[in-house]
A and B are shown apart, each in its own frame.
Chain A
Amino acid sequence: EVQLVESGGGLVQPGGSLRLSCAASGVTFSSHWMSWVRQAPGKGLEWVANIKEDGSEKFYVDSVKGRFTISRDNAKKSVYLQMNSLRAEDTAVYYCARYYYGSGSYDYWGQGTLVTVSS
């Protein structure tokens, strides 16, 4: 059974930093793209970033470019999201998801971790 478990969320002041982690099990981690998707309170879903199987390609939504960095460690079966210069509008539940390249879908999701940016 595929399991994705996020950690690292919390309360941070505007301008601060946070690093999210996502640990995978039950999956051949190094064979799949991975993604982060977020959901602001009471709002819809927003894709944040993707990373290729070997980490050689990364893509970001415009609103986080230059502030967020996605990375992965295939030996640890983990994907990370380094978030810098956080803003109030980054407040959301952040989900780690496995990206299925063939259909552009997200077929497995973690339980999510809440990031709150507030003074």
Chain B
Amino acid sequence: DIQMTQSPSSLSASVGDRVTITCRASQSIGSYLNWYQQKPGIAPKLLIYGASSLQSGVPSRFSGSGSGTDFTVTISSLQPEDFATYYCQQGYSTPATFGQGTKVEIK
């Protein structure tokens, strides 16, 4: 199975900050990397698919990059509604696997 490792596991940031979360795959997955946002008690929401494509309806302050084994998601200017947990997920092979999550908290 492909292991997905996110860093950091948590971070504290202020509204307006630029935030970057990293995801590393244990082997090359091309661009088959997806990012999700999850708020407490609510289902995950797809933010970015194919490493860098923004899902419909997702604000343009979110962006994704990377290929192979190293990927990032960046929030250019953190908004109050962005405080949540973010997960990466590889869609390259079965079983699909997720990172352990990065919790973005208010500083």
Contact = CB atoms under 8 A, between A and B. Distances in A.
Contact of A104 (B32, B53, B55): B32
B46 A107 contact: yes
Classify chain B's interface size.
20 to 34
Interface string A52-93: 000000010110000000000000000000000000000000
A78 to B, nearest CB: 18
A103 interface: yes
A106 B57 CA distance: 15
A44 B101 contact: yes
A100 B46 CA distance: 11
The 7 A-B residue pairs with the shortest CB-CB distance, nearest first, are A104-B91, A109-B43, A105-B34, A103-B49, A47-B96, A105-B49, A45-B98
Interface of A: 44-47, 50, 59, 61-62, 95, 100, 102-112
Interface of B: 32, 34, 36, 38, 42-46, 49-50, 53, 55, 87, 89-92, 94-101
